[in-house]
Structure 1
């Protein structure tokens, strides 16, 4: 099945317009049909040995969201103290989650024991199942963007907070907690890029030919 030029362009548009959304969520609910479409896209991610190690916990209960929000606030405070003073001040001013604002949260997990201890493709690199679950996150993110929904990945939270709030067993790995919903607008650039936290790295700096080649670091003020 060939991809048409228009379909190809739509895929690239979705990739380049994807954003980590924090502060633009609208309260309107997401239809069940749309939720199932984006979950189906996530469920069709590539997985090592076709083990499909992911599960999806849908979070809409207000009390559960508040427990997760409280965990974020604690982790956020601890994280702010890890940066230099100037970066810490900038960090505290950033909006880094939309846990309460987004109508839906989805926690994506990884069952590393699924389908037994020996899995094709994981015999040498056992972490491949974790990477597979991350591919499910990316599929979901792009599908949500194609539905004009925003997604925000909340990584500033301890796993134990999510385990407690969502009843996740200790032998199940937590991959991501995502905030999902309609948004007032999508930003033209990633928020951290716009805020001056870091510039976008030039593609040329990430490309090597035939072997690893160290790149010169450009420390000029113009960067």
Structure 2
């Protein structure tokens, strides 16, 4: 360790926020987020790294109740379309709670800002790095919210063009997330999709390799072909 390391207590707090962050769908109705807390959360998001210091994120706070309902309708329409596309898992998907738009204390739309195409630094061969930068800002906000005792849910079930039109975005801006934020009844010990038996996380070793892409295991060879081996 170096002298730049955090104290044990601070380090444990960082790892705890990472481990206990959850994608939340259930919120305490009628709750509020204090203005000073909300300011800290947005400052945390704005402190995220961005390629070429382009800061491509835009945060739109939704305070109009009627607009919330319109956004909920857009999400619900896509929820049903997604269910139809899932085939045999359609009914199972419809039973999942996938958003808390009408219940959460604060609602935000996060978008890729206008004019970002002008940023070449880091994007000449990888233009999607603007989206990667926005994702870093969202993760900052998510972890800060958990540290403040608040839940956050990322909703991606919507038609970007229709949401952009609803919010009067310029032609070269693009919504990437609806964020539901606020007090929650509790934080589940595992991701909600695991609890609902929809999907399960896989262990870290399956995602880590060294020096090259991991090679798939070859099937065991018959006795005539010899022992299982790689060329």
TM above 0.5: yes
Structure 2 equivalent of residue 75 of structure 1: 78
Q: Number of aligned residue pairs: give it.
A: 215
Structure 2 equivalent of residue 129 of structure 1: 130
| Unpaired runs of at least 5, structure 2 | 219-231
Structure 2 equivalent of residue 120 of structure 1: 121
| Unpaired runs of at least 5, structure 1 | 218-223
CA distance in 2, matches of 1:108, 1:45: 14
1:215 Cα offset (Å): 4.2
Report the aligned-residue RMSD: 1.7
1:169 Cα offset (Å): 1.7
Q: Deviations over 1:104-137 (max 9, x none)?
A: 11111112524x7243222221211111011111
- Give 3-state SS (helix, strand or coil) of 2:118's partner: coil
Q: Does 1:9 align with 2:9?
A: no
TM-score (norm 2): 0.88
Contact 1:25 1:98 (8 Å CA) reproduced: no
* CA radius of gyration, larger in: 2
The 5 A counterparts of 1:110-189 are 110-111=112-113, 113-114=115-116, 117-189=118-190
TM-score (norm 1): 0.91
Structure 1 equivalent of residue 92 of structure 2: 90
Structure 1 equivalent of residue 192 of structure 2: 191
Structure 2 equivalent of residue 43 of structure 1: 46
Contact 1:205 1:215 (8 Å CA) reproduced: no
Contact 1:111 1:171 (8 Å CA) reproduced: yes
Contact 1:149 1:183 (8 Å CA) reproduced: yes
Contact 1:25 1:150 (8 Å CA) reproduced: no
CA distance in 2, matches of 1:112, 1:12: 34
1:76 Cα offset (Å): 0.8
- Give 3-state SS (helix, strand or coil) of 1:81's partner: helix
